[in-house]
């Protein structure tokens, strides 16, 4: 398959239509975005990076989009890191991923050895590579297009390898969900997307790159701020965005305080990644408007796999609390099945998926990938989730693996042992919670104070424990407060 064929064709077709506008007012038409991406691609090729691994560390910007596209166009593998991660974590991820180079914006240029490519400071390209067309490359469909880091420990990097086939299938599926009206009715060529969540997360696959592939414009917020989002919606007549539940809650609170609205022009506000209560859905529906669409999925298996529609949200706001516990109906064409699990009722089991969105190496010999989520379907075809099998913590849509946090805690002075788990939280769905056994009980009172700064140097903010409990031994850990913690 041709690397980046879909985005290349879309930019050529868009020509002089403005496709990107960022928070600083920088714009890119289809033509100028294509030219800048080709120039960056030539520079990366001159550095010998075609088909190699390239780390990306960016806040949302037009330069970030150029970097993502250019790495794809040269048939390489992107390794994106959350821009809010501490430098030590970013360095550890890039080293564990064995990247051949790292591209950053000016805000992250302090990373040793990184190559700068920013909006007003494009990558310096050697003379012979400054002109000419960037060759279109054929790549194996199972080559990794995006390596999503999940956890770095002493044992190495756990990451999700999204192949070029997976990436293309994910983009194709989301374009179809917009065009078909599953993401809300009335989709037309006047649509404008707001990229508010950071690109390394769900928004890239759900909105940012599908809109590029459709040749439709979007606005890039450097980082999420509810007031800035409201202003962007009205200034640019934006119609769509993707959030995580915490962002939905903050937007609802902001609108309530200010008395402003976003619908219209906003027609569809997609969100997903973590559970949200019926009360929160109802409050958001009342304050934001009839625009909410909930998605459930996993990068490893497909994003999304099910959709809770605008009409479903209306029913919840009218009092159907049971429907709020669902994550919607499976997307048409999604090949899902429920595999029996010992100890579960006959109609409950582990969700499995098969198809082009399943990452290579994760499926069994028959092509089925087990998602790790316990689920079941009701008589109306709605999917319900009832916990995870692997202990992963889902906090505000971010996936946190307890082992990584435990390793960071036990490396700190004064810690004898620890256990980390997710516990119910009204804001985050689950809160990262640490039970810590001090090495010296007499010095235990100061341990949380000294521990937090050390963890902040090693872990992204969303991985930091929101609660730290000091205990005399691991045997003193209380039973889990929720026997069926929310799934990922």
What are the backbone dihedrals phi and psi of residue 438, each rounded to the nearest 5 degrees, phi first?
Answer: -70, 145
User: What pLDDT does residue 487 have?
Assistant: 36
Where along the chain do its domains lie?
A: 5-166, 224-388, 393-476
Q: What number of residues does the chain have?
A: 488
pLDDT per position as a tens digit, 432-468? 999 998 888 876 777 888 888 888 888 888 889 998 9
User: What pLDDT does residue 390 have?
Assistant: 66
Lowest mean pLDDT segment, chosen from 244-253, 399-408, 410-419 = 399-408
User: What pLDDT does residue 181 have?
Assistant: 96
Cβ burial 340-357 (10 Å sphere, 16+ → b, else e) = eeeebeeebbbbbbbbeb
| Long-range contacts formed by 328-334: CB under 8 A, 24+ apart | 328/294, 328/295, 328/296, 328/382, 328/383, 329/381, 329/382, 329/383, 330/305, 330/306, 330/381, 330/383, 331/173, 331/177, 331/182, 331/304, 331/305, 331/306, 331/307, 332/182, 333/173, 334/302, 334/305, 334/306
Lowest mean pLDDT segment, chosen from 144-153, 282-291, 351-360 = 144-153
In this prediction, residues 139-155 reach a mean pLDDT of: 88
Predicted confidence (pLDDT) at residue 59 exceeds the cutoff of 60: yes
Predicted confidence (pLDDT) at residue 484 exceeds the cutoff of 50: no
Pick the CATH number of 5-166 from 3.20.20.70, 3.40.50.980, 3.40.50.720, 3.40.1710.10: 3.40.50.980
Lowest mean pLDDT segment, chosen from 192-201, 202-211, 362-371 = 362-371
d(CA 162, CA 179): 24
What are the backbone dihedrals phi and psi of residue 245, each rounded to the nearest 5 degrees, phi first?
Answer: -55, -40
Predicted confidence (pLDDT) at residue 485 exceeds the cutoff of 50: no
User: What pLDDT does residue 400 have?
Assistant: 84
Both tokens assigned to 260: 């402003």
pLDDT > 90: what percent of the chain? 68
Q: How confident is the model at residue 483 (pLDDT cuts 50, 70, 90)?
A: very low
State the chain's mean pLDDT as an integer.
Answer: 91
Topology at the third CATH level for domain 224-388: Rossmann fold (3.40.50)
d(CA 166, CA 173): 10
3-state secondary structure of 457: helix
Per the model's pLDDT, the better-predicted residue between 131 and 208 turns out to be 208
d(CA 231, CA 262): 9
User: What pLDDT does residue 79 have?
Assistant: 98
- Helical segments of 348-461, H only: 402-410, 447-458
Residue whose entry in the numeric block shows the structure tokens 């080559």: 143
Cβ atoms of 216 and 191 closer than 8 Å: yes
Predicted confidence (pLDDT) at residue 392 exceeds the cutoff of 80: no
User: What pLDDT does residue 85 have?
Assistant: 92
User: What pLDDT does residue 229 have?
Assistant: 97
- Counting beta carbons within 10 angstroms of the beta carbon of residue 188, is it exposed (0 to 12), middle (13 to 18) or buried (19 or more)? exposed
pLDDT per position as a tens digit, 216-228? 999 999 999 999 9
User: What pLDDT does residue 164 have?
Assistant: 97
Fold matches, 5-166 and 224-388: yes
Cβ atoms of 471 and 435 closer than 8 Å: yes
Q: How confident is the model at residue 373 (pLDDT cuts 50, 70, 90)?
A: confident
d(CA 444, CA 258): 45
User: What pLDDT does residue 128 have?
Assistant: 63
3-state secondary structure of 256: helix
User: What pLDDT does residue 215 have?
Assistant: 98
Lowest mean pLDDT segment, chosen from 19-23, 370-374, 392-396 = 392-396
- CATH code at 393-476: 3.30.300.30
């Amino acid at each position: 398959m041709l690397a980046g064929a879909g985005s290349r064709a879309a930019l050529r077709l868009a020509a002089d239509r403005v496709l990107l506008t960022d928070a600083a007012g920088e714009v890119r038409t289809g033509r100028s975005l294509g030219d800048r991406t080709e120039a960056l691609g030539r520079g990366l090729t001159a550095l010998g990076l075609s088909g190699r691994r390239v780390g990306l560390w960016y806040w949302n910007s037009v330069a970030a989009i150029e970097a993502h596209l250019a790495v794809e166009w040269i048939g390489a593998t992107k390794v994106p890191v959350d821009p809010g991660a501490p430098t030590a974590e970013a360095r550890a991820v890039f080293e564990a991923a064995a990247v051949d180079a790292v591209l950053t914006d000016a805000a992250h240029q302090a990373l040793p050895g990184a190559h700068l490519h920013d909006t007003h400071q494009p990558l310096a390209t050697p003379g012979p590579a400054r002109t000419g067309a960037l060759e279109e490359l054929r790549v194996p469909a199972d080559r990794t297009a995006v390596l999503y880091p999940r956890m770095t420990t002493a044992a190495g990097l756990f990451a999700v390898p999204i192949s070029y086939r997976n990436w293309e299938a994910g983009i194709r599926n989301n374009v179809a969900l917009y065009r078909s009206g599953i993401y809300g009715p009335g989709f037309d060529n006047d649509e404008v997307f707001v990229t508010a969540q950071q690109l390394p997360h769900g928004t890239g696959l759900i909105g940012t790159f599908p809109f590029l592939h459709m040749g439709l414009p979007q606005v890039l917020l450097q980082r999420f701020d509810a007031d800035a989002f409201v202003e962007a919606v009205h200034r640019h007549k934006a119609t769509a965005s993707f959030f995580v539940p915490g962002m939905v809650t903050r937007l609802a609170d902001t609108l309530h305080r200010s008395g402003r609205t976003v619908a219209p022009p906003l027609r569809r506000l997609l969100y997903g990644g973590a559970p949200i209560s019926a009360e929160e859905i109802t409050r958001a529906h009342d304050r934001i408007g009839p625009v909410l669409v909930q998605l459930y999925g996993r990068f490893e298996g497909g994003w999304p796999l099910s959709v809770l529609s605008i009409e479903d949200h209306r029913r919840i706001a009218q009092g159907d609390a049971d429907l709020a516990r669902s994550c919607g109906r499976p997307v048409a064409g999604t090949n899902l099945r429920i595999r029996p699990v010992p100890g579960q009722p006959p109609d409950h089991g582990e969700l499995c998926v098969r198809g082009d969105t399943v990452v290579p190496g994760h499926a069994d010999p028959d092509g089925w990938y087990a998602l790790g989520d316990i689920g079941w379907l009701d008589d109306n075809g709605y999917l319900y989730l009832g916990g995870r099998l692997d202990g992963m913590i889902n906090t505000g849509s971010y996936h946190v693996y307890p082992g990584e946090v435990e390793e960071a805690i036990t490396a700190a002075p004064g810690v004898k042992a620890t256990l980390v788990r997710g516990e119910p939280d009204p804001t985050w769905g689950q809160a990262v919670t640490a039970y810590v056994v001090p090495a010296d009980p007499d010095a235990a009172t100061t341990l949380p104070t000294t521990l937090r700064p050390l963890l902040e140097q090693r872990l992204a903010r969303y991985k930091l424990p929101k609660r730290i409990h000091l205990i005399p031994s691991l045997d003193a850990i209380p039973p889990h407060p929720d026997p069926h913690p929310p799934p990922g």
